[in-house]
Amino acid sequence: MINLVLFGKPGAGKGTQAEFLKSHYQLVHISTGDVFRFNIKNETALGKLAKSYIDQGDLVPDQVTIDMLEAEVEKNLQAKGFIFDGFPRTEAQAQSLDAFLAKKEMAVSGTIALEANDDELVARLLKRGETSGRSDDQDEAKIRNRFDEYNEKTAPLRTFYTAQNKFHSINGIGSIEEITQRLMAVIDSL
């Protein structure tokens, strides 16, 4: 079983790459963003709560995210593994993920950070915002606030996973195919 955590700043390409990896390795892709967007579109209670944070460019609180993730794993226990995209975002979430997976006799196999500079990511997100309709992709100040949130809360995961010998960093700039090849080289080495 392969359980991967993909992380990187908003716009780094996690969702795009997860689609290729999901197909190639026959994994279940759990994107917290996709699950939140589904709930927002359908105006569920969780969706309304998540939207209030997302519209401000803030991260959704840990407990809401953790409960949602556990439900997604429970629905797919027959899977060959999972790609966690957008989770964990904090060390507390990483510890919760480890504890939950241990109860299921699973573990995180590796974490891969897609690295790209902020100006490149701002350009990507503003372009995505032209068609996505996402309010948090249409305002550079909100985008940079998301980067600040990432730097403050998520970047420390590098230390957490490095201590477990599970952290890998790859260059997130280049063609989609080049980045996919870099990711597959890391995954095949796990």
Alpha helices, H only, the chain: 14-25, 32-41, 45-54, 62-74, 91-103, 118-132, 140-149, 157-162, 176-188
d(C-alpha 68, C-alpha 16), whole Å: 21
Q: Active-site residue 48, yes or no?
A: no
Q: How many CB atoms within 10 Å of residue 48?
A: 11
pLDDT of residue 116: 93
Q: What is the pLDDT of residues 94-122, one digit of tens each?
A: 999 999 999 999 999 999 999 999 999 99
Among 134, 144, 153, 158, which one carries the catalytic annotation? 134
Among 51, 89, 142, 182, which one carries the catalytic annotation? 89
CATH 3.30.428.10 fits 2-188, yes or no: no
pLDDT of residue 67: 78
Say if residues 10 and 146 touch (Cβ distance below 8 Å): yes
Q: Which residue type sits at 133? A: G
Q: Which of 187, 34, 9, 157 is nearest to 97 (CA)?
A: 157
Q: Active-site residue 41, yes or no?
A: no
pLDDT of residue 106: 95
Q: What is the pLDDT of residues 167-187, one digit of tens each?
A: 999 999 999 999 999 999 999
Q: Active-site residue 182, yes or no?
A: no
Among 22, 51, 124, 146, which one carries the catalytic annotation? 146
Among 37, 128, 153, 166, which one carries the catalytic annotation? 128
> Average pLDDT for residues 144-171, to the nearest whole number?
92
Q: Active-site residue 89, yes or no?
A: yes
Sequence spans of domains, the chain: 2-188
d(C-alpha 2, C-alpha 39), whole Å: 27
Q: Active-site residue 134, yes or no?
A: yes
